[in-house]
Amino acid sequence: MGRCRSKLRWRDLSPVQEKTNPSRAGVPPSGPIPQPAAGDPRPAPTSLRPTAPWPLALIVVTDSGLAGGSAQAEHAALQALAAGAPAIQLRDKVRSTAELLPVARRLARACREHGALFFVNDRVDLALVAGAHGVHVGPEDLPVAAVRSMVPPDFLVGYSTDEPAVALQAREAGASYIGCGTLWTTTTKSDAGAAIGPDGLARVAKAVAPLPVVGIGGVRADRIEQLGGTGCAGVAVVGAVMGAHDPHTATRTLLKALETHL
């Protein structure tokens, strides 16, 4: 098989509203980008654009259970950023929005300082207030179209599915990228479906091209070579970094494998 598609740039992700027409992927919408109102704590959308040249190559997803606690998960995310991770996603199914807000704000600030993307899982309100670049939702969350109606034009909206038809619907509704998996068997999510493998990832990527597709589920550095030729934009990892003794080194190892094989 051949190599994955060429490495994505920020312009390939923004703005997401134009993704309903594949021929206009990456074309800015008409009119100025709305700016936050006076007193709004969010940074202006134009100031959020990351400097990482390959923004969806590696999304590090937090998990306090695997990391050994919420503070440890935040520390692991910061270590991943220091190692060069181009994106962080805050995922916490236990703590309240009020408890997560200071964490989200700290991570959003750290991501901006490192030129990386910051996503919040599920919670659109938290993502907006914290100044995130985007939110990641799934079938049990708000529909993509509803999320799109709530957020600025520059805001990124990821959607999880392993079905080509559903992924195509998400693209038409305004998704910025698709999180596709479970690639390999994983214990991170109790409700994870059957593993679809690289072939399943390739089917989804082909269905929604040129929309970026990110593989997730059981991803390890030694498995990334198998993703060559799938058309993926990158991978999202949880245990490979959150469960690592040295998150910094684990992130560097993943990035090296991605650079070599994708």
HSE-CB of 208 using CA atoms within 13 angstroms:
35
- pLDDT, tens digit (0-9, with 9 covering 90-100), for 49-100: 455 557 899 999 999 999 999 999 999 999 999 999 999 999 999 999 999 9
Sign for the CA dihedral angle at 195, 63, 15, 13 comes to: negative
The yes-or-no answer on residue 149 being catalytic is no
Alpha-carbon gap, residue 21 to 3, rounded angstroms: 25
What would you report as the CA-atom Rg of the chain, rounded to the nearest whole angstrom? 17
5, 42, 91, 112: the active-site residue: 91
106, 189, 220, 223: the active-site residue: 189
- Mark residue 70 as left, alpha or beta (left: phi above 0; alpha: psi -120 to 50; beta: remaining): alpha
Domains of the chain: 57-261 (3.20.20.70)
* 3-class secondary structure, 202: helix
Query: Is 160 known to be catalytic?
Result: yes
Whether 91 is catalytic is yes
At residue 119, the 3 state secondary structure works out as strand
For residue range 9-21, what is the model confidence (pLDDT) as tens digits? Answer: 544 564 433 333 3
- Residue 5's pLDDT is what? 44
DSSP code per residue over 84-118? T-SEEEE--SSS-HHHHHHHHHHHHHHHHHHT-EE
Its pTM stands at 0.84
Q: What is the mean pLDDT of residues 116-136?
A: 98
User: Of these residues, 19, 160, 171, 203, which one is catalytic?
Assistant: 160
**pLDDT tens track for 158-214:** 999 999 999 999 999 999 999 999 999 876 666 667 899 999 999 999 999 999 999
